[in-house]
């Protein structure tokens, strides 16, 4: 009996070793380790043995053979499964550099990118965003901004006039806004202070296009009107913006200048960490005449305003050499950013 | 304004031009006064190899009309021949000769060079070529008597100097004169200010020139002083050098002194030859429409009824008030007696004439900003003092005219300045007693005691009229950099409005769909709107740069089609672009009917692609609009376009651009298009999406196909399906459209997938059969047949 068991074990192990697929192992498992398998059959024959010792010895031999076969089946099965998985994975190999250009996200205009970045910084500083029409009345664009009719500074704005005539009004009193400052006026007329707004928007000048000038371009302008607002608040706000937008290593300064709608007026410059300066924009304390035009008492309310070009921010950030390219809508340009 | 540091040093010890640190201090101080320094240039460096030479003779050449042959003697005993194109030279003149081998400042090396086969042995130089200024209109003549062969720098008494170019803003009218700059700079730098104190006795027999001011609002003061004993000759070199460095060409002692006084005292003036002055007097009046005058620059000009003319006593025009003299009354070499005009003209009037005639001058720039209306007497004496250097017999006659109109600004103008108002704007803690120290040195006189002081404004600061103007001066002289830095204690929080957030969402959705943002020119050429199939009524720019950019867009369509065409012409097809921007339809209101629009163009795509974009947008924004194909917007494809209706108002259009419009724009691809009134889209109130419980029951799908006449919109069938399916329906979507075999002509098969679900149980076959029957009935009513 023992001889028979040993022979069966050797044969089974040889079969298992020879199995080449998981399917074969499944069949061998049934044949050798199943409930009706060969070794269960041998076990059943133990009862026919004569002596207890013989039964014991043969029983041990069968158990030993069964566990050896089970172990061999498990080992072989996992080896074959691994091999089959490896073969399948190998068979699925792809060359990921065989790359078809896939649909991509669209590209926001550079001006929009700069515009939204600026809005986000000012929102973070406590400003809301105000907007207004791009075609304006002479009154909003000039007169309310301390530039009455005939004011010599008007000439510096290179204004584009349109043929719209308001009812009962004069021709030549409707303009393409030359700055976003009329939004200041509209805001002051529409709401009570305190006012903390920025007004980004499109503006127009009668300027021949070149690498640094466009007749249609964009500005962002800030206005604060509150009680006890001082020029120190202007300097501090410009500096807070500078650090938030450009980075902590940047500084700012105010330097005297002239604008009809602010007094005192200042240009503001940004200092790069390397010490060099960039002229950024204009600013100043809102002129008492502007406050009066908006029915605000300059002895009760004070405030500051500042403004600068959005296009230039985009130009500088991305090193665009020619502003005209920014407005050509050429795919080769658009998809760079 | 070009500021010569050596000249400025006449009025205070500001800094040695050869000391770079001192020059920087001056430049910084100018900047802190609001005079933005554009450039700082070292001048007076001389060019080695350029020497004084005398012109022996001049010869023309029959084949070279524009140049002459010049034979010069440079004192070395040999005559040199040079070609020269200037016409201000004559025999006997001493001129700067760049000898062979000289390296010129512009990098050119002087070499033997031939014209018509005749060599030039050097070059005669203009002031500009020698780096002496901007004048390139002729050769820079050297003083008669200069030693031949002497380096020109020695001959001209040149020394190293610094020219600072500073931008003069409108609120600094006095800074068009050296004295005005020096006064402010001295106060800023703590330097003693030395204004000129001219000394020249007005004696002689009284000689007057009658002056009649007709239009006193435009000319409020006109003084005329008779000066005799004039001998017209070249200016001394020191003056010629300064004027040259300031960009002016020295002409003669009288003209040069006139310019010098203007630059020094900011008092433009004009000297007339009294012997040629008709009637020996002046009349200042507005021109009659179309009246002519040939101005000093040799141009014959016509003037209008708003332009002020200076006329002689016979009413003959001899100058444009405050802008330019006439050619006829120019000083000549024979002039011995002049009538010196110093006057004051209205800022606005000058500005209007300058704008209208485009005629401007150093004088008009100054008058336009505001000249001291009380500065003439000092300037007259200064003029005489300077001119007497070359005219020892000069006599200034008493009895000069000083005509004034009632509009003349008073010499003493006062404003009340409240120290608390100063501190409130600047954030400073100044005491009233600090004001005199800040203001008096710059000519504002602080008077009185207490918290409010009466400040007498300087006559040369016409920009100063109100308290705030004085506050600005205080800020500048206190120092912007000392005002401190704080942040307002705002109680508000920042944020975007709902509209602005929705605009960003629209942009995000479109970008996510692979559509890029364009920003075409909002100015169109006449006819472009019509070309795009749109109404031609539009607002126009009355003063456009070019006619092709004179019409304001009423739609974003033309600009985007031009962008598509541009890219197509550069072999870039299949572009998807959108624009969010304002359009400006005309209106009868105070302002045009401007609104914000959105247009999407998908080149190489068909109408359904645009519908898909629209659906994605409305899904994200949380509302829907009806696609109404019964109304086709103009310029769009007649059978592939629809109006978008939300409620009664049309919201926009969707479809494809009409073939004839594409052809007109030279676009060969199909272009799917979506046009939306963004104002409507952004301002629409929508509720946040509300929760619907997700079911734990399994759902079943039911696919149904219908054959239906092409004339009936699929939208109607979908509606019928929804109605017929009843409560178990949770979703329906079109997944196939088929025309061809098996479907009748003029019909198509539309296949829908219905997702069915009961909240409380698993669906049975009977449930599904019910739905099928319901849908079939509803579809049949519409004329659609369920295909088995």
Strand-by-strand arrangement of the B729-738 sheet: B729-738, B747-756, B700-709, B785-787
Provide φ and ψ at B316, rounded to 5°: -90, 130
Contacts of B658-665 with CB under 8 Å at 24 or more apart are B658/B533, B660/B533, B661/B531, B661/B532, B661/B533, B661/B561, B661/B635, B662/B561, B664/B531, B664/B532, B665/B531, B665/B532, B665/B558, B665/B561, B665/B562, B665/B564, B665/B565
Q: Does A168 touch chain B (CB under 8 A)?
A: no
B355 to chain A, any CB pair closer than 8 A? The answer is yes
CB contact under 8 A, A256 and B33: yes
Please list every residue in chain A whose beta carbon sits closer than 8 Å to the beta carbon of residue B591: 133, 135-137, 164, 166, 174
Please tell me whether residue B712 adopts helix, strand or coil conformation. coil
Q: Under a CB-based contact definition with an 8 Å cutoff, are residues B26 and B5 in contact?
A: yes
A-proximal residues of B, 535-554, CB under 8 Å: 539-545, 549, 552
Q: Which residues of chain B fall short of a pLDDT of 50? A: none
CA distance A252 to chain B (A): 11
| DSSP conformational letter for B205 | S
Chain A CB contacts of B544 below 8 Å: 160
β-bridge mates for residue B517, sequence order: B578
User: Contact, A231 vs A211, CB < 8 A?
Assistant: no
Closest CA in chain B for residue A228: B424
Specify whether the CB–CB gap between A144 and A292 falls below 8 A.
Answer: no
Which residues are CB-neighbours of A115 under 8 A, at least 6 positions away? A200, A218, A220, A310
Residues of B in contact with A253 (CB under 8 A): 480-481
Instruction: Say which of B355, B491, B494 has its CB closest to residue A125.
Output: B494
What does residue B426 show for φ and ψ, rounded to 5 degrees?
-90, -15
Q: A124 pLDDT exceeds 70?
A: yes
Q: Which two tokens stand for residue B453?
A: 């002081």
Is residue A324 within a helix (H) or strand (E), and if so which, with residue range?
Answer: helix A323-326
The region that residue B567 occupies, defined by phi over 0 for left and psi between -120 and 50 for alpha, beta otherwise, is alpha
Cβ-based neighbours of B534, under 8 Å, separated by 6 or more? B554, B555, B557, B558, B634, B635
| Strands B523-524 and B452-457, sheet pairing | unpaired
Catalogue the E-assigned strands of A216-301: 216-226, 251-259, 262-271, 277-286
Question: Strand locations in B385-450, DSSP E?
Answer: 395-397, 401-404, 413-418, 445-447
B540: left (phi over 0), alpha (psi -120 to 50) or beta: beta
pLDDT of res. B255 = 95
pLDDT-above-70 percentage for chain A = 100
Residues sharing a CB contact under 8 Å with residue B283, sequence separation 6 or more, in sequence order: B211, B212, B214, B310, B311, B312, B313, B315
Chain A to chain B Cβ contacts (< 8 Å) = 247
Which pLDDT score is estimated for B348?
87
Residue B119's alpha-carbon distances to A122, B71, B88, B99, B612, in angstroms, are 69, 12, 22, 13, 79
Q: Count of CB atoms within 10 A of residue B93's CB?
A: 18
- Give the pairing type, strands B395-397 and B202-203: parallel
Between CA B58 and CA B562 the distance in angstroms is 62
Q: What is the pLDDT of residue B424?
A: 95
Report percent pLDDT > 90 for chain A: 81
Dist. CA A272–CA A250, nearest whole Å: 5
Q: Using the beta-carbon criterion (under 8 Å), do A258 and B517 form an inter-chain contact?
A: no
Of B351, B514, B570, the CB nearest to A152: B351
Nearest CA in chain B to A133: B594
Residue with tokens 């390296």, as numbered in its chain: B103
CA distance to A331, B521, B604, per residue, from B570 (Å)? 9, 19, 15
**Six token digits for residue B607:** 């109408």
| Angle at the Cα of A58 from the Cα atoms of A55 and A64, rounded to 5 degrees | 135
Give ∠ CA B243-B246-B251 in degrees, rounded to 5.
Answer: 30
Nearest to A284 by CA among A250, A238, A226, A241: A238
pLDDT of residue A100: 76
Contacts of A183-187 with CB under 8 Å at 24 or more apart are A183/A130, A183/A131, A183/A132, A183/A221, A183/A223, A184/A145, A184/A221, A184/A223, A184/A286, A184/A290, A184/A305, A185/A140, A185/A144, A185/A145, A185/A290, A185/A293, A185/A294, A186/A130, A186/A132, A186/A140, A187/A130, A187/A223
Mind giving me the DSSP string for B432-497? GGGHHHHHGGGT-EEES-SSEEEEEEPTT-TT--SHHHHHHHHHHHH-GGGS-----------B--
Please tell me if residue B755 touches chain A, with a CB cutoff of 8 Å. Answer: no
Six-digit token pair at B708? 């239906």
* Chain A nearest C-alpha distance from B133 (Å): 28
Q: Which residues of B33-52 are buried (b: 16+ CB within 10 A; e: fewer)?
A: bbbbbeebeebbebbebbbb
Q: Which of chain B's residues have a Cβ under 8 Å away from the Cβ of A237? A: 487-488
pLDDT at A266: 97
- Residue in the structure block whose two tokens are 């204009």: A282
3-class SS of residue B142: strand
Nearest Cβ partner for A230 among B426, B472, B590: B426
Q: Can you give B208-261 as a three-state secondary structure string?
A: CCCEEECCCCCEEEEEEEEEECCCCCCCCHHHHHHHHHCCCCCCCHHHHHHHHH
**Cα distances (Å, whole numbers) of residue B158 to B12, B165, B242, B551:** 21, 20, 10, 57
Alpha carbon distances (Å) from A337 to A244, A315, A318, B463: 22, 12, 8, 47
Q: Alpha-carbon Rg of chain B, whole angstroms? A: 41
Model confidence band, residue A2 (pLDDT cutoffs 50, 70, 90): confident
Q: How far is CA B537 from CA A160, B525, B528, B584, B599, in A?
A: 19, 13, 11, 11, 20
Q: Which residue of A has its CA nearest to B561?
A: A329
| Strand-pair category, B282-286 with B211-213 | parallel
How far is the C-alpha of B418 from the C-alpha of B454, rounded, in Å?
9
Contacts of B514 in chain A (CB under 8 A): 103-106
Q: For A312-331, what is the mean pLDDT?
A: 93
Shortest Cα–Cα distance, A168 to chain B (Å): 9
The answer to whether A161 contacts chain B (CB < 8 Å) is yes
Report d(CA B107, CA B369) in Å as an integer: 39
Closest residue of chain B to A115, computed from CA coordinates: B504
Q: Which of B312, B288, B315 is nearest to B302 (CA)?
A: B288
DSSP-assigned beta bridge partners for residue A218: A202
Q: How far apart are the first and last CA of chain B?
A: 91
Q: Classify residue B9 by its DSSP letter.
A: G
Q: Search chain B and give the residue with CA nearest A171.
A: B542
Nearest CA to A223 among A167, A260, A261? Answer: A261
DSSP label of A222: E
The CA R_g of chain A, rounded to the nearest whole Å, is 42
Assess contact for A264 and A284: CB atoms under 8 A. yes
- Six token digits for residue A285: 């304390």
Between CA A20 and CA B744 the distance in angstroms is: 59
Q: Which helix (H) or strand (E) holds A115?
A: helix A110-124
Q: Phi first, then psi: give them for residue A113, nearest 5 degrees.
A: -60, -45
Q: How far is B327 from chain A (nearest CA, A)?
A: 28
- The residue with greater pLDDT, B122 or A150, is B122
**Residue A257 touches chain B, beta carbons under 8 Å:** yes
Q: Which residues of B touch A128 (CB under 8 A)?
A: 492, 494-497
Looking at the complex, does the CB of residue A219 fall below 8 Å from at least one CB of chain B?
Answer: no
Q: What is the pTM of this model?
A: 0.84
Question: What is the C-alpha to C-alpha distance for residues B412 and B432, in angstroms, rounded to an integer?
Answer: 21
Q: B541 Cβ partners below 8 Å, 6+ apart?
A: A160, A161, A162, A163, A176, B523, B549, B550, B551, B552
- The answer to whether A320 faces chain B, any CB pair under 8 Å, is no
Interface of A with B in 291-310 (CB under 8 A): 299, 302
Residue A88: burial class (beta carbons within 10 Å; 0-12, 13-18, 19+): exposed
**Rounded distance between C-alpha atoms, residue B107 and residue B105, angstroms:** 5
pLDDT at B491: 66
């Amino acid at each position: 009996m023992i001889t028979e068991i040993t022979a069966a074990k050797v044969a089974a192990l040889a079969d298992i070793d020879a199995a080449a697929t998981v399917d074969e192992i499944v069949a061998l498992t049934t044949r050798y380790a199943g409930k009706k398998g060969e070794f269960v059959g041998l076990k059943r024959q133990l009862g026919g043995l004569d002596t207890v010792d013989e039964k014991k010895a043969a029983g041990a031999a069968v158990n030993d053979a069964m566990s050896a076969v089970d172990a061999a089946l498990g080992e072989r099965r996992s080896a074959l499964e691994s091999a089959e998985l490896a073969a399948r994975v190998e068979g699925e190999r792809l060359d990921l550099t065989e790359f078809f250009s896939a649909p991509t996200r669209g590209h926001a205009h550079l001006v929009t990118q700069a515009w939204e970045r600026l809005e986000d910084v000012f929102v973070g500083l406590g400003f809301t965003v105000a907007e207004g029409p791009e075609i304006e009345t002479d009154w909003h664009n000039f007169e309310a901004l301390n530039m009455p009719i005939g004011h010599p500074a008007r000439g510096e704005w290179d204004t584009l006039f349109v043929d719209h005539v308001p009812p009962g009004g004069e021709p030549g009193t409707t303009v393409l806004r030359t700055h976003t400052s009329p939004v200041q006026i509209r805001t002051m007329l529409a709401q009570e202070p305190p006012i903390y707004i920025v007004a980004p928007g499109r503006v127009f000048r009668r300027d021949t296009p070149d690498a640094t000038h466009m007749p249609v371009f964009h500005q962002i302008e800030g206005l604060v009107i509150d009680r006890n607002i001082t020029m120190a608040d202007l300097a501090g706000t410009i500096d807070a913006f500078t650090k938030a937008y450009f980075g902590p290593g940047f500084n700012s300064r105010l330097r005297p200048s002239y604008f009809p709608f602010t007094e005192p007026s200042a240009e503001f410059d940004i200092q790069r960490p390397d010490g060099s300066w960039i002229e950024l924009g204009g600013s100043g304390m809102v002129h008492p005449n502007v406050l009066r035009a908006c029915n605000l008492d300059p002895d009760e309310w004070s405030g500051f305003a500042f403004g600068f070009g959005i296009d230039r921010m985009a130009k500088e950030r991305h090193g665009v050499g020619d502003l005209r390219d920014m407005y050509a809508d050429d795919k080769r340009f658009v998809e760079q950013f | 304004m070009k500021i010569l540091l050596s000249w400025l040093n006449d009025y205070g010890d500001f800094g040695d031009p050869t000391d770079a640190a001192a020059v920087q201090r001056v430049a910084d101080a100018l900047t802190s006064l609001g005079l933005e320094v554009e450039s700082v240039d070292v001048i007076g460096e001389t060019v080695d190899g350029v020497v004084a030479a005398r012109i022996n003779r001049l010869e023309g050449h029959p084949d070279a009309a524009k140049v002459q042959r010049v034979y010069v003697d440079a004192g070395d005993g040999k005559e040199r021949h040079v070609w020269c194109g200037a016409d201000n030279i004559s025999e006997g003149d001493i001129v700067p000769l760049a000898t062979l081998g000289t390296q010129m400042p512009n990098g050119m090396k002087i070499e033997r060079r031939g014209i018509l086969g005749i060599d030039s042995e050097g070059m005669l130089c203009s002031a500009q070529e020698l780096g002496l200024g901007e004048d390139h209109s002729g050769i820079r003549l050297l003083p008669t008597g200069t030693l031949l062969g002497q380096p020109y720098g020695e001959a001209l008494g040149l020394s190293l100097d610094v020219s600072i170019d500073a931008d003069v803003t409108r609120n600094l009218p006095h800074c068009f004169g050296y004295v005005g700059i020096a006064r402010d700079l001295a106060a800023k730098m703590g330097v003693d200010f030395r204004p000129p104190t001219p000394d020249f006795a007005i004696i002689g027999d009284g000689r007057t020139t009658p002056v009649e001011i007709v239009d006193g609002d435009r000319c409020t003061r006109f003084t005329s002083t008779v000066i005799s004993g004039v001998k017209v000759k070249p200016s001394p070199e020191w003056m010629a050098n300064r004027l040259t460095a300031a960009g002016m060409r020295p002409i003669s002692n009288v003209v040069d002194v006139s310019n010098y006084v203007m630059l020094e005292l900011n008092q433009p003036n004009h000297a007339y030859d009294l012997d040629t002055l008709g009637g020996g007097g002046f009349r200042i009046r507005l021109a009659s429409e179309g009246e002519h005058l040939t101005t000093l620059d040799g141009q014959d000009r016509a003037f209008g009824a708003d332009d002020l003319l200076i006329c002689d006593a016979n009413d003959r025009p001899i100058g444009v008030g405050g802008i330019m003299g006439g050619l006829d009354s120019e000083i000549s070499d024979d002039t011995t007696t002049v009538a010196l005009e110093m006057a004051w003209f209205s800022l606005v009037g000058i500005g209007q004439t300058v704008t209208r005639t485009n005629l401007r001058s150093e004088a008009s720039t100054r008058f336009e900003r505001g000249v001291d209306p009380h500065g003439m007497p000092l300037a007259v004496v200064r003029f005489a003092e300077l001119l007497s250097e070359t005219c020892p017999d000069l006599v200034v006659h008493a009895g000069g005219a000083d005509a004034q109109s009632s509009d003349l600004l008073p010499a003493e103008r006062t404003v009340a300045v409240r120290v608390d108002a100063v501190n409130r704007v600047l954030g400073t803690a100044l005491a009233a007693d600090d004001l005199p120290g800040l203001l008096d040195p710059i000519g504002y006189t602080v008077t009185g005691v207490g918290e409010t002081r009466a400040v007498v404004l300087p006559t040369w600061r016409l920009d100063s009229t109100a308290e705030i103007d004085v506050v600005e001066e205080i800020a500048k002289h206190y120092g912007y950099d000392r005002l401190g830095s704080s942040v307002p204690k705002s109680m508000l929080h920042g944020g975007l409005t709902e509209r602005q957030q929705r605009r960003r969402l629209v942009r995000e959705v479109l970008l996510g769909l692979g559509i890029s943002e364009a920003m075409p020119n909002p100015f169109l050429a006449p006819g472009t709107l019509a070309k795009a199939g749109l109404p031609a009524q539009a607002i126009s720019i009355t003063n456009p740069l070019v006619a092709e950019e004179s019409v304001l867009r009423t739609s974003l369509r033309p600009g985007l089609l031009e962008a598509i065409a541009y890219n197509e012409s550069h072999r870039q097809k299949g572009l998807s672009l959108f624009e969010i921007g304002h359009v400006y339809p005309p209106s009868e209101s105070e302002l045009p009917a401007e609104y914000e629009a959105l247009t999407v163009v998908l080149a190489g795509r068909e109408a359904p692609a645009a519908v898909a974009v629209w659906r994605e947008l409305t899904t994200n924004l949380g509302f829907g609009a009806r696609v109404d194909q019964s109304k086709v917007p103009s310029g769009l494809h007649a059978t592939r376009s629809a109006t978008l209706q939300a409620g009664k108002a049309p919201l926009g259009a969707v479809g494809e651009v009409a073939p004839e419009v594409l052809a007109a724009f030279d676009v060969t691809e199909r272009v799917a298009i979506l046009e939306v009134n963004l104002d409507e889209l952004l301002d629409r109130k929508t509720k946040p999406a509300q929760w619907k419980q997700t079911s734990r029951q399994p759902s079943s799908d039911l696919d149904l196909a219908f054959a239906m006449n092409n004339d009936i919109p699929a939208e109607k069938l979908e509606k019928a399906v929804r109605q017929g399916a009843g409560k178990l329906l949770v979703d329906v979507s079109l997944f196939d459209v088929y025309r061809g075999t098996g479907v009748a002509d003029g019909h198509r098969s539309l296949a829908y997938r219905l997702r069915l679900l009961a909240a409380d149980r698993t669906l049975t076959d009977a449930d599904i059969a019910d739905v099928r029957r319901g849908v079939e009935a509803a579809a049949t009513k519409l004329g659609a047949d369920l295909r088995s």
